């Protein structure tokens, strides 16, 4: 044997070992990066950023404070309707959101309507809108002046949202600005430069018999060719009858054709009130699942491709009684590391009350109320918010105004912060900070971590019912009637150093 061989082998092994170490380091850094659940493109194209709905972003250099009156760290402001619940998303250089028609951008489209608006991400220039007349039944199906409450999902040049008329709408992200009318729908009444271009609609009232209670609000999530949405099917005005118990709680619609692929219903006449939870999608226990809170207060996991039920979990103690102690689910489930994190609560109109927050092991099957319980946190009040899980800490607010920081493994609370006002929105964890808005219009900025540290509190001028959204170095925050794009201006004294370094 050549005497050089062992030395060559040793050298080669060293190279291989170095390669393995480097690969592991790269892989470790990627794993660390994955704790941020935004898509990594800089955009935030759907409610929660990604299908797992975890409100966490790897964005850097976001402002630690700002001043909307002095315009410090304010890139632009745009005016909306008088009530805005359709949380903004950002994709392909455009910001999309849902509001009502009280901003009256086009006098030819007057009256009470639900509206989706598109703005230029860099300048805030108004690009186009789609307006939807109210359902004729009125408040039972389509509450006055609530507008579009769905947060759109964007993929490529297509935008998907649920209108106030309980239609899943597929629209062209460019509207009519590209001088093309995309079909099959080409008979839009308004086809001007500032009008939206509808591609197809799936009407949940006509197609699956949904009777939306008060407002259809679902924020779509996309999986392959499927769009998954809640139908918002619920009670009638008497709060006793369920007019459409056979209508599904959730449907999957083909994103290209707008045709129904599957539907599920496990609630029938057990709907407590309405169905306003949106779905989350992720691989849990090796299976691609769609998870959603349903009208009987149970959260369920389904095989996303087929709608086959995999597991279910009752979020209410068995001795609880609606509406005093038994709750519905308005929050969106957060999927993380084979587990589901979700709290229950009630319609904000019902006020405050006891709540429950759970961590569920979604690798198991069947009734997981006992078998799948990882932990139960009962020091939370009713909540309609979705959580944010980062670095082993779950940030979860309640409607009574408390933000809880909880050890995601054990369910033990590390700290809480009182915002002194109702919280409708959800926290965002990004750039080492936690951002959260409240009904008084305050946004608190806290340091992310095991120790509580308040960095700043900024008033936005009117109630913040939405959730802060990060995209491409800016933060987008909507109050009742405006959207603000916030970004650190060079040399700005308002950029606090207290944001600290990111782990």
Nearest residue to 488 via CA among 466, 467, 470: 470
Shorter beta-carbon distance to Ca ion: residue 132 or 480: 132
Are 154 and 129 in contact by the 8 Å Cβ rule? The answer is no
Least spacing, CB of residue 130 vs Ca ion, in Å: 10
Q: How far is CA 124 from CA 74, 120, 215, 265, 425, in A?
A: 11, 5, 28, 41, 22
450 torsion bin: left (phi>0), alpha (psi -120 to 50), beta (else): alpha
Least spacing, CB of residue 159 vs Ca ion, in Å: 11
Shorter beta-carbon distance to Ca ion: residue 180 or 418: 180
Q: Is 72 in the site for Ca ion (CB under 5 A)?
A: no
Candidates 78-86, 168-176, 273-281, 404-412; binding stretch for Ca ion (CB under 5 A): 168-176
Least spacing, CB of residue 259 vs Ca ion, in Å: 17
Of 38, 142, 172, 294, the one binding Ca ion (CB under 5 A) is 172
CA 215 from chain centre, in angstroms, equals 17
Candidates 30-38, 166-174, 234-242, 407-415; binding stretch for Ca ion (CB under 5 A): 166-174
Least spacing, CB of residue 182 vs Ca ion, in Å: 5
Shorter beta-carbon distance to Ca ion: residue 182 or 398: 182
Of 67, 125, 180, 378, the one binding Ca ion (CB under 5 A) is 180
Are 169 and 161 in contact by the 8 Å Cβ rule? The answer is yes
Candidates 45-53, 65-73, 179-187, 434-442; binding stretch for Ca ion (CB under 5 A): 179-187
Are 478 and 84 in contact by the 8 Å Cβ rule? The answer is yes
Strands 287-293, 280-284: pairing is: antiparallel
Are 330 and 382 in contact by the 8 Å Cβ rule? The answer is no
Q: Give the Cα separation of 416 and 410 in Å (integer).
A: 16
The footprint of Ca ion on this chain (CB under 5 A) covers a number of residues equal to 9
Least spacing, CB of residue 112 vs Ca ion, in Å: 24
3 state SS of 129: strand
Candidates 164-172, 237-245, 315-323, 352-360; binding stretch for Ca ion (CB under 5 A): 164-172
Q: In the window 182-221, what residues touch Ca ion (CB under 5 A)?
A: 182, 185-186, 197-198
Are 65 and 74 in contact by the 8 Å Cβ rule? The answer is no
Shorter beta-carbon distance to Ca ion: residue 179 or 451: 179
Candidates 123-131, 178-186, 231-239, 437-445; binding stretch for Ca ion (CB under 5 A): 178-186
Least spacing, CB of residue 187 vs Ca ion, in Å: 8
Q: Is 181 in the site for Ca ion (CB under 5 A)?
A: yes
Q: Give the Cα separation of 81 and 447 in Å (integer).
A: 33
Tokens 């001043």 appear where? 67
φ/ψ (deg, to 5) at 179:
55, 30
Q: Which residues of the chain form contacts with Ca ion (CB under 5 A)?
A: 172, 178, 180-182, 185-186, 197-198
């Amino acid at each position: 044997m050549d005497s050089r061989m062992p030395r060559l082998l040793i050298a080669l092994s060293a190279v291989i070992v170095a390669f393995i170490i480097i690969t592991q380091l790269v892989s470790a850094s990627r794993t660390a990066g994955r704790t941020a659940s935004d898509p990594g493109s800089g955009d935030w194209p759907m409610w929660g950023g990604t299908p797992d709905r975890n409100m966490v972003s790897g964005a850097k250099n976001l402002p630690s404070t700002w001043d909307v009156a002095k315009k410090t760290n304010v890139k632009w402001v745009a005016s909306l309707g008088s009530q805005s619940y359709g949380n903004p998303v950002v994709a392909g250089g455009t910001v999309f959101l849902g509001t009502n028609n009280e901003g009256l951008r086009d006098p030819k489209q007057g009256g009470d309507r639900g509206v989706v608006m598109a703005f230029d991400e860099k300048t805030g220039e108004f690009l186009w809108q789609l307006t939807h007349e109210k359902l004729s039944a009125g408040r039972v199906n389509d509450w006055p002046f609530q507008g579009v409450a769905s947060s759109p999902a964007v993929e490529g040049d297509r935008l998907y949202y649920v209108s106030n008329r309980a239609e899943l709408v597929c629209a062209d992200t460019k509207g009519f600005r590209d001088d093309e009318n995309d079909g099959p729908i080409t008979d839009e009444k308004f086809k001007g430069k500032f009008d939206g271009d509808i591609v197809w609609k799936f009407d949940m009232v006509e197609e699956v018999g949904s009777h939306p209670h008060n407002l259809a609000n679902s924020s779509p999530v996309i999986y392959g060719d499927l769009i998954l949405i809640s139908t918002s099917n619920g009670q009638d005005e008497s709060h006793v009858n369920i007019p459409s118990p056979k209508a599904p709680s959730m449907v999957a619609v083909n994103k290209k054709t707008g045709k129904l692929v599957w539907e599920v219903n496990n609630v029938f006449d057990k709907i407590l009130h309405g169905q306003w939870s949106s779905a989350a999608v992720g691989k849990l226990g090796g299976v691609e699942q769609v998870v959603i809170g349903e009208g009987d207060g149970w959260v369920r996991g389904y095989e996303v491709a087929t709608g086959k039920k995999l597991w279910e979990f009752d979020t209410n103690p068995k001795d609880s009684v609606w509406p005093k102690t038994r709750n519905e689910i308005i929050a969106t489930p957060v999927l993380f590391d084979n587990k589901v994190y979700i709290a229950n609560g009630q319609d904000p109109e019902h006020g405050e009350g006891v709540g429950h927050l759970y961590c569920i092991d979604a690798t198991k099957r069947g009734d997981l109320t006992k078998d799948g319980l990882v932990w139960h946190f009962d020091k939370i009040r009713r909540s309609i918010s979705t959580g944010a899980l980062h670095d082993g800490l779950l940030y979860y607010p309640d409607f009574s105004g408390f933000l809880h920081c909880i050890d995601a493994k054990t369910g033990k609370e590390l700290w809480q912060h009182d915002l002194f006002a109702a919280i409708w929105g959800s926290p965002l964890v990004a750039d080492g900070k936690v951002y959260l808005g409240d009904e008084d219009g305050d946004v608190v900025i806290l340091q992310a971590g095991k120790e509580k540290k308040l960095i700043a509190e900024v008033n936005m001028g009117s109630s913040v019912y939405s959730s802060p959204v990060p995209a491409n170095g800016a933060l987008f925050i909507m109050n009742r009637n405006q959207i603000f794009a916030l970004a650190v201006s060079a040399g700005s004294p308002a950029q606090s150093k207290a944001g600290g370094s990111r782990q």
